[in-house]
A and B are shown apart, each in its own frame.
Chain A
């Protein structure tokens, strides 16, 4: 035995904030917060999600695509031309950072579905959101070496292999302003540390960052496949993004019930509830048994209308929340919040299994109202 072995004691780190009035702050803020938790990661993954960053293209889906080769990029672009209108496309702006290496080709495309184009790969008459979900699945599944890692409107994910503060420098995040930011510092345990496997995971405007491991991954993955979601990114967290899309956007569950499906009360707790509550919890557990997330987790998920924090039911990962004015903060460690908000009005440790839901005030952000289901232009 090597007694000099120094173990790096780590777990992933999370941080997120939302301004409920839709006031935007620079990415520099969330970077300072996640950098406070530097030692929760090991440099094999860092990433951010930002909302409200593309006001000029707010009605278009912003596809962030990473390609491992020029061929993959050519294949993706040929496919996109046949499936969507591209109003604007460009390289995702980056700057060289000596600690960020093996960078894939990173491009973004602001698009709308193209019903008059070559849509034979898709059913006729599906909603715009469904169209985009299928497009993402098709690229990730069928085009080798190409991955869509962000596909929402007026939001974007930025991620890669490296510490989050280096990833932020690489992507020039201080140049973006958003009203919701989430950040992740990765310490991969069971799955490879590669660009596609960094957090956040996204679909449409859902984004998720996660600390923990989802031991129900196999069940969740097979359940999602029945609804046309395919897990291609080799990390357990991916299922959560698709589960949220399925439960909230497709099945119209309120956020509270979607969170209950992911982290339901124990049967012994349900037994002591009043009849109405009991009926509801039983129904959720029975209908969505395959959506239950097993294993330790603290997650932050965001969408255009809000930010939500959730723990597994027995609190196997840390999560702290705080508020000041119209801003709500959530992070793995209180220090990550204090770094950017030294004097919060309220700080608390959320109860395990109970979501902390911070919604955007109605009409706080133009053209991105909080509505469920999301309104789309598609015919049904």
Chain B
């Protein structure tokens, strides 16, 4: 199903998509999207959706299963509390990508904003993954409880001279792992975090995500692997357990 979204109010657009999904439609192409909120929120069928334009806030929130490809930039709140599925963004994305995400994958070719992956969590085999081709703002992986964030710092826009990650990286982190390409200055990390080198098993795990990322965006993995990756993870399960104990 192809929808020209120009000038359609977000509620009408989402109603149209929802009733088409209910009627059995599984492939969507949305054209001229501009700022409509909540696209594909809560949809729990295996649909595919290509979006041309700039989708609005909280795209794919609570989503469970769809594959969404954005040919352009996305705004804030992409994949908020997302449960399963895949989101591919060919441009950049705004703040709080993958907020409270608990499953599925989000691949962003370019830069992302602040607080990406905040409150991400994992349970058993449900491990959410965010791979960022560009650079990230402050508070990447803040309060992270599980899941995987990979930060390449390579394919972004004009953040020249800035390091791949901002300040307060992994602040309050107590689970999950962040892989960063290239060196990380310790003062940019949240309290108690230290970058570590990868062991063989971690290298293998990382390679799986990178291969998928590269095939998604038609990139060469060798160029990405030219530089060393570092791993940031909390030392213990409850690093802040004694914070308020006297």
Q: Are A333 and B111 in contact (CB under 8 A)?
A: no
Interface size on A, residues (CB 8 A): 23
Of the candidates B34, B76, B111, B187, the one whose C-beta lies within 8 Å of that of A338 is B34
Residues of A within 8 A of B37 (CB): 39
Interface string of A320-352 (1 = CB under 8 A from B): 100000000000011110110000001111011
Flag whether A283 is at the interface (Cβ < 8 A). Answer: no
Let me know if A349 and B139 touch, CB within 8 A: no
Say yes or no: is B239 at the interface (Cβ < 8 Å to chain A): no
Rounded to whole Å, the gap between the CB of B70 and the closest CB of chain A is 12
Kindly state the separation between the CA atoms of A320 and B113 in the bound complex, as whole angstroms.
10
Confirm or deny: A237 has a beta carbon within 8 angstroms of a beta carbon on chain B: no
Q: What is the size, in residues, of chain B's interface with A at 8 Å between Cβ atoms?
A: 27
- A6 CA to B166 CA, complexed, in Å: 36
Within the assembled complex, what's the spacing in Å between the Cα atoms of A333 and B76? 8
Q: Is B138 in contact with chain A by the CB < 8 A criterion?
A: yes
Cβ–Cβ contact A318 & B94, under 8 A = yes
Which residues on the A side are within 8 Å of B94 (C-beta)? Answer: 318, 320, 334, 349
**Cβ–Cβ contact B73 & A334, under 8 A:** yes
Which chain A positions have C-beta within 8 A of B81?
none
Given contacts A39-B10, A268-B187, A318-B94, A351 and B137 within 8 Å (CB-CB): yes
Check: A140 CB closer than 8 A to any chain B CB.
Answer: no
Q: B137 is contacted by which of A338, A346, A352 (Cβ under 8 Å)?
A: A352
Alpha-carbon distance A293/B113, docked complex (angstroms): 22
- Considering only residues 346-380 of chain A, those with a C-beta below 8 Å from chain B are 346-349, 351-352
Given contacts A333-B35, A346-B158, A314 and B138 within 8 Å (CB-CB): yes
Q: Is the CB of A334 within 8 A of B10?
A: no
Q: How far is the CB of A342 from chain B (nearest CB, A)?
A: 9
Min Cβ gap B26→A in Å is 27
Decide: B95 and A336 in contact? CB cutoff 8 A: no
Residue of B nearest to A37 (CB): B35
User: 0/1 per residue, B104-129, Cβ < 8 Å to A?
Assistant: 00000001011100000000000000
Closest chain-B Cβ to A9's Cβ sits at a distance in Å of 8
Name 30 A/B residue pairs within 8 A (Cβ), A-sorted: A36-B35, A37-B35, A39-B10, A39-B37, A266-B167, A268-B187, A272-B187, A314-B138, A314-B139, A315-B95, A315-B113, A315-B138, A318-B76, A318-B95, A320-B94, A333-B57, A333-B75, A334-B54, A334-B75, A334-B94, A335-B34, A335-B54, A335-B75, A336-B35, A338-B35, A348-B157, A348-B158, A349-B113, A351-B162, A352-B114
The residues of B with any CB-CB pair to A shorter than 8 Å are 10, 34-35, 37, 53-54, 56-57, 73, 75-76, 92, 94-95, 111, 113-115, 137-139, 157-158, 162, 167-168, 187
Known: A314-B114, A338-B54. 13 other contacts (CB 8 A): A314-B168, A315-B115, A318-B75, A333-B35, A333-B75, A333-B76, A334-B54, A334-B94, A335-B56, A348-B157, A349-B94, A349-B113, A352-B137
